[in-house]
Amino acid sequence: MKIAVLGTGGVGKAFAKRLTELNHEIIVGTRDVAKTLEKEGEAGFKHFQSQNPNVKLATFADAAAFAEIIINVSKGENTVDVIKAAGATNLKEKILIDISNPLDFSNGMPPSLIPEYSNTNSLGEEIQRLCPDTKVVKTLNTMWNGLMINPTQLANGDHINYICGNDESAKKKVISLLNEFGWKNESILDLGDITSARATEATLPIWLRIYGAKKTGAFNFRIVS
Amino acid sequence: MKIAVLGTGGVGKAFAKRLTELNHEIIVGTRDVAKTLEKEGEAGFKHFQSQNPNVKLATFADAAAFAEIIINVSKGENTVDVIKAAGATNLKEKILIDISNPLDFSNGMPPSLIPEYSNTNSLGEEIQRLCPDTKVVKTLNTMWNGLMINPTQLANGDHINYICGNDESAKKKVISLLNEFGWKNESILDLGDITSARATEATLPIWLRIYGAKKTGAFNFRIVS
């Protein structure tokens, strides 16, 4: 499939790499292509592209226009701007997988949640509001990014990934993509419509405290019943 | 031990019953003793006392004054008033186990969190602020109340209970009491000081959504690493 990954950071690169390995056609979206390619060294996108030559780089808008599925991996504080830059028209009728979290670093560490996008709102809902004709599916945002795309590296993949969104067929397609990453259907819990993003984004505070206690992000939750 | 349970609802009764079975001396605290005893029928406290004659009932203040350990099981929206009624002087130098959650039902179901006591604050911290000479320990607030006092009824007790608080020796004493309920040490994760209550209280939204999806509260989380 043609997939756009919105965000050029570590998570964006990891998704782009994994998705090309799975034979998808990938464009990574960025605000300013020239500026993104300026950065030298191993952390730069130029270096990443030299090792992953099939991954293309384009503006958020061009990446969104190209893709059938768009994955938003931008930082929560930038997400609304990134989605606006991608453009509701370019995202129309498409599936947008949102894995962002509204982390607020302005009160010190560990971060709290951005008040505007938490409790009775969420980034997932905010994106759905900005792009009413897009099928927003929230998933994968409750864990270390290494696990998102390679769940079986931990406990044979027997840990939880939530999914929510208003469109049932879009959720089914996203579950297929999750299956490609290694997610088993029994590890994916459908919480209902996009308002459940409030709950999945609100798991970040406990995740961050456990991370602080365990000194590793290589964990996830399993629901025991 | 002499233990006060602040709250006469289902959770308060369950704690009182379990703790007397464990040979503790229990006073349940309430706002108005006469009024609490007025209620007829099986849901009333009079009926409960007829079946649990060792459980005493007193005002919040008298219950707190009597006890070595105080357990706050009041509804989050009432907790601050309950703690004020119990009185900082009666709670001084004592351990207060707080299992409340700041649920806000004013926006419909499922509840959100009371803005004043969430994100960059918590009920645990608020109680600690109201009673600076009390050793507030937050625990057990992230699960169905049946599991709190009988964890082994699910998966042999192999699921998570968080604990946090500023006083290390108080946390140790609370862990002893948790052990009496059936909690294994390896199922109890110390998240640090009382500010971690922000995180454990923030697990309620996901708990409530999972409850909605599974139609049962008889589940808990296990941390897989």
pLDDT value at residue A3: 98
Please answer yes or no on whether B154 and A120 come within 8 Å at the CB atom: no
Please answer yes or no on whether A200 and B206 come within 8 Å at the CB atom: yes
pLDDT value at residue B60: 98
Under 8 Å CB pairs connecting chains A and B tally to 108
Q: Per-residue DSSP letters for A109-174?
A: SSPEE-GGGSSS--HHHHHHHH-TTSEEEEESTTS-HHHHH-GGGTGGG-S-EEEEES-HHHHHHH
Q: Which of A73, A223, A38 is nearest to B155 (CA)?
A: A223
Mean pLDDT, residues B189-211 taken together: 98
pLDDT value at residue A131: 98
pLDDT value at residue B30: 98
Please answer yes or no on whether A222 and B224 come within 8 Å at the CB atom: yes
Chain B residues closer than 8 Å to A143 by CB: none
Smallest CA–CA separation between A78 and chain B, in Å? 20
Mean pLDDT, residues B196-213 taken together: 98
As for the ipTM of the complex, it is 0.96
The Cα–Cα gap between B222 and A183 comes to: 18
Name the band, by pLDDT with cuts 50, 70 and 90, for residue B168: very high
pTM of the entire structure? 0.97
Instruction: Identify the closest residue of chain A to B201 by CA–CA distance.
Output: A206
Q: Per-residue DSSP letters for chain B?
A: -EEEEE--SHHHHHHHHHHHHTT-EEEEEES-HHHHHH--STTSHHHHHHH-TT-EEEEHHHHHHH-SEEEE-S-HHHHHHHHHHH-HHHHTTSEEEE----EEGGG-SSPEE-GGGSSS--HHHHHHHH-TTSEEEEESTTS-HHHHH-GGGTGGG-S-EEEEES-HHHHHHHHHHHHHHT--GGGEEE--SGGGHHHHHTTHHHHHHHHHHHS----EEEEE-
DSSP-derived letter for residue A192 is -
Give the residues across from A126 on adjacent strands.
Answer: none
Q: Which of A223, A191, A185 is nearest to B154 (CA)?
A: A223
User: pLDDT for B96-138, tens place per residue?
Assistant: 999 999 999 998 999 999 999 999 999 999 999 999 999 999 9
Please answer yes or no on whether A209 and B191 come within 8 Å at the CB atom: yes
Q: Three-state SS for A203?
A: coil
User: pLDDT for B18-64, tens place per residue?
Assistant: 999 999 999 999 999 999 999 999 989 999 999 999 999 999 999 99
Chain A residues closer than 8 Å to B209 by CB: 162, 191-192, 196, 199-200
pLDDT value at residue A28: 98
Q: Which of A120, A198, A213 sits opposite B189 (nearest CB)?
A: A213
The Cα–Cα gap between B135 and B94 comes to: 6
Q: Which residues of chain A have pLDDT under 70?
A: none
Q: What angle do CA A223, B163, B151 make, to 5 degrees?
A: 50
Smallest CA–CA separation between B211 and chain A, in Å? 9
